[in-house]
A and B are shown apart, each in its own frame.
Chain A
Amino acid sequence: MGVRGMEKLREVGGFVLPADSAPVSVRVPDAAASWRLGRREDARLITGAGRYVGDLDVPGCLDAAFVRSRVPHGRLVAVDTSAATATDGVVAAWTAADLGDEVPLVPVYLATPGSAHRPCPALAVDRVRYVGEPIAVVVGADRYVAEDGADAVRVDIDPLPALVDPGEAAASAVQLFDGLDNVVTDMEFGDPVPDEVWQRAAVVVEGVYRQPRLVPTPMEPRALLAVPEEDGRLTVWVSHQAPHRLRDDLAADLKWDPERIRVRVADSGGGFGSKSGTYAEYLVVVRLALRLGRPVRWLEDRAESLLASPQGRGQNQRVRLAADADGRMLALDLEVDADVGGYPVGAFVPGETGRAAAGVYRTPDVHARVRTVVTTTALTTPYRGAGRPEQVYAVERTVDLLARRLGMDPAELRRRNLVPPEAFPYESPTGRWFDSGRYEQALDLALELADYAHWREEQRRRREAGGAWPLGVGLCMFAERSGLEQKEVAQEWAAIDVAPGGGVVARVGTCATGQSHETVFAELVARTLGVPARQVTLVEGDTAEVPQGVGTYGSRSTQVGGSALHRAALELIEEAKRRAGPGASYANGVVTAGGRSRTLGELAAAGEPLRVEGVYAAPAAYAFGAYVAVVEVDTELGVVHVLRLVAVDDCGVRLDDEIVEDQVRGAVVQGLGQALYEVMPYDDEGRPQAADLLGYLLPTIGELPPLTLGSTVTPNPNTALGAKGTGEAGCIGTPPAVVNAVVDALGEPGIQLPLTPEECRRAVAGREAGVR
């Protein structure tokens, strides 16, 4: 079994090289020692000289504002734009009818069965399916005027019943799409667990969990500026993670050759998955710009973002876990009803939850059933973690439940069940191949850094003494897919050019929204070539400069894009040697052959342009981690105090420890937000209840717990660079660790995310009721 796994992985590995190129020897640059680089991005960003979409000064630019549904579900009877058109400064006001013969459809991320039958029009045609759905657009001389116009549009909607909960929607007679079930896809992973396994088990525990809807909330909301060029081309400036996909989607909508569209990502104010799609507003703004022959910009405002931008998570989960009397896990069954919102645009996300169901444990029987369901709420699409935090949460809470039932230490229970290092590559019962892992080592380090034994002792002391706030310790272990499994996207393009003066330009198809690529990737190329880093410039996020690319999402940039650049640099060395002649040697940017030494720049000046390019394929990898949280709960006020949080992450080889830690820290704080504060609540009528950042709470510095980061390094066996991904781990490991700690403190397993004071008070009341 193991051998088959490796073959499968290797088959897709490797750089697609020009036919005549020589095989290269693989060298990993001095990567294990942290580089601790100063960030190149900062010079412009700390002085206010960064250029985000909203900062670009384009003469004659118009601003767009959208009119959105205030009704969760209904038939769209009439839209009257006449008063908007008459508003001073308004240039155009459009409904779906003005978009041309075919209303553009919002492209799905990945086709799933059933998504094509439930199309998402860019502007509502005859039905609205969530509050915030775009109905009309108004363009004006600036945003104030466009918003005046949008306020003047009159919309008439005949309400229909709302469907807020995916479980209820699945069973409801009310259909969001006439004649079609509200269940879009019904997926199964692994074989159903035989009845006899449940019967034979010494213990079976069951947990029911709710994953709230989260709003990704990058500090810069979505932003796009479409500029029609005089030569018939179109430039699109956008805050985005996947510019090539956006280019291709826009070209498909316009029926254009993609070469006519140049997508440029300037500085981006964060993404976290929420800027990886092609959204309704983008399609509309592009059409407006082309029709009017003028630049049109759309800057989403925060209220709009909370209402209408894609959200994350949103699952109802049920987990059953069986074990023998020694705590060896026998079977796991996961059932998910995933809420995809009004249209199944991001319906592939919950598939990850099912595929990953086994977690880090060697459970022999694992089965998952995942239904994706439409509801009358905003769309859910990938948000940092995208399916993985949901899976890990469901499993890790249930593992703690099992530990309680068995009266076993939760760390010991985990230890007994981890997939051991020698079992890799490991195929899980749900058909997933894990490349490598040393889970127990991560667990040991996390327990040590947290001083686990001390806190268990303190907990015992408090329980015996009584009086003090109850204290709890929570664990979470996870393996996280980084990179992508589908062959077309398990790869990245990279190129390196050397100018006659010696300047090196590295290009890659990833696209940073704050992840320090300019710094780290340029350094990676410089170190591989052995030239000073100041000689190397990185270019990404411009489809005219970078002809193809997959982008930055799924924790893939260093693992795949970094590997592509590394390989390209090695190829460049081979190319330089080939040109220098037989027996050439290369060191530190200088190639020597036949007693003659030349720099890369001199070589480039001597003949053909010195350039390599190619596509590097790298299979998905599995980063992993062990997190520990220690909490005490103020039972009077219901407030959770996180006393200690330890995050041990293994993301393979780390190029720059500090920049990896930046990612982990940021994600941990988002995970803390998910655990304690964040939820977009909908009332029973389907109306979202948080309209601003006082209603949707993000962590501030005041809520930060003492955080200790630790690392182990298990290199990615399938790339020369050895890196796995790291961008999402923090918000995968943190919520289950914190919630498990609170459950441990309160002894009340029914608690649900987020652990607001109200929720904790409910749990305390439940506990007290139980005691009496």
Chain B
Amino acid sequence: MSAGVPIRLTVNGTAYDVTVEPRRNLADVLRGACGLTGTKLGCEHGVCGSCTVLVDGEGVRSCLMLAVQAAGRDIRTVEGLAADGRLHPFQEAMSAEHGLQCGFCTAGFVMLVVGALDADPSVARDPERLDALLSSNLCRCTGYEGIRRAVLRAYGG
């Protein structure tokens, strides 16, 4: 075990002062030291996208980023999406369109879509770009159709 490094993580607008080993990935620190377990780990090697969070507005696989790399940057997780007690429209759409079953991949898909589509909703109107985006993540339950419909519902495809 190597010595811990003190860092400040800003997650969903809240500052977390934590001491972490440099080898710890962001996902583990979010889930552990920060207690934000909404972010899931489905592969821990960068393929499934379950661990997707936003770092400075960009979708990032938090299993591939070290926590120390995220120090001082603006991190958003699924826990921070609802504002003033209201769900993000895409969260509502996911439920309405049956975009989830077991829910384990859901936070990753939600952060992937919100990160990309809040910045550029036109992706929803371009089936190829939308497929390319959604192909970054894996879901083993739904067969994806509900997730696609949810994007169209929330972003008016």
Contacts and interface: CB of A to CB of B under 8 A. Distances in A.
Interface of A: 38-39, 41-52, 54-55, 57, 88-89, 142-145, 148, 217-220, 267-270, 272, 301-303, 513-516, 658-659, 662, 665-670, 692-694, 698, 700-702, 704, 707
B138 interface: yes
A46 B100 contact: yes
Contact of B41 (A54, A144, A148): A54
A515 B101 contact: yes
18 contacts: A42-B103, A44-B103, A46-B110, A47-B38, A48-B107, A54-B31, A55-B37, A145-B1, A219-B138, A270-B102, A662-B141, A665-B142, A668-B143, A669-B144, A692-B47, A693-B47, A698-B140, A700-B136
Contact of A700 (B45, B78, B91, B138): B138
A144 B105 CA distance: 23
Contacts of A88: 1
Nearest to B133: A701
B44 A46 contact: no
Contacts of A694: 47
A707 B136 CA distance: 21
B98 interface: yes
Nearest to B128: A702
A48 B77 contact: yes
Nearest to A303: B45
B70 interface: no
A41 B82 CA distance: 17
B147 A272 contact: no
B109 to A, nearest CB: 10
B32 A142 contact: yes
B140 A270 contact: yes
A696 to B, nearest CB: 10
B144 A42 contact: no
A760 to B, nearest CB: 22
B138 A148 contact: no
Nearest to B95: A42
Given A47-B87, A515-B101, 14 more contacts: A47-B82, A52-B37, A52-B40, A52-B104, A144-B21, A220-B42, A269-B104, A270-B104, A513-B102, A516-B101, A666-B140, A666-B143, A701-B134, A701-B148
Looking at A89, A148, A698, the one whose CB has the most chain B CB atoms below 10 A away is: A698
A42 B94 contact: yes
B4 to A, nearest CB: 12
A218 B105 CA distance: 10
Chain B interface size, as a band, is 35 or more
B131 interface: yes
A171 B100 CA distance: 47
Contacts of B62: none
A662 B141 CA distance: 8
A514 B47 CA distance: 22
Contacts of A269: 40, 42, 102-104
A60 to B, nearest CB: 14
Contacts of A142: 32
A704 B144 contact: yes
A514 B102 contact: yes
Contact of B43 (A48, A270, A692): A692
B13 interface: no
Contacts of A49: 38, 79
A704 B145 contact: yes
Contacts of A303: 44-45
Looking at A268, A270, A658, the one whose CB has the most chain B CB atoms below 10 A away is: A270
Contacts of B137: 700
Interface in B98-157: 98, 100-107, 110, 131-132, 134-148
A3 B22 CA distance: 73
Contact of A666 (B32, B82, B141): B141
Contacts of B104: 52, 218-220, 269-270
A701 B147 contact: yes
Contacts of A52: 37, 40, 104
B131 A702 contact: yes
B26 interface: no
A92 to B, nearest CB: 17
B135 A702 contact: yes
B25 to A, nearest CB: 10
B36 interface: yes
A48 B109 CA distance: 12
A85 to B, nearest CB: 15
Contacts of A145: 1
Contacts of A57: 35
B23 interface: yes
B102 A218 contact: yes
Nearest to B131: A702
A666 B143 CA distance: 4
B103 A46 contact: yes
Contacts of B141: 219, 270, 514, 662, 666
B75 interface: no
Nearest to A36: B98
Contact of A514 (B39, B42, B101, B146): B101
A634 B104 CA distance: 35
Looking at B32, B41, B105, B110, the one whose CB has the most chain A CB atoms below 10 A away is: B41
Contacts of A692: 43, 45, 47
A143 B41 CA distance: 13
B52 interface: no
Nearest to A663: B101
B45 A662 contact: no
Contact of B140 (A46, A217, A268, A515): A217
Contact of B78 (A38, A48, A55): A48
A220 B101 contact: no
A735 to B, nearest CB: 15
Contacts of B96: 38
A219 B41 CA distance: 9
A686 B124 CA distance: 46
A662 B98 contact: yes
A676 to B, nearest CB: 14
Contacts of A698: 138, 140
Contacts of B138: 219, 693, 698, 700
Nearest to B105: A219
B44 A302 contact: yes
A50 B36 CA distance: 11
Nearest to A267: B103
B102 A46 contact: no
A220 B108 CA distance: 13
Contacts of A516: 101
Contacts of A514: 101-103, 141
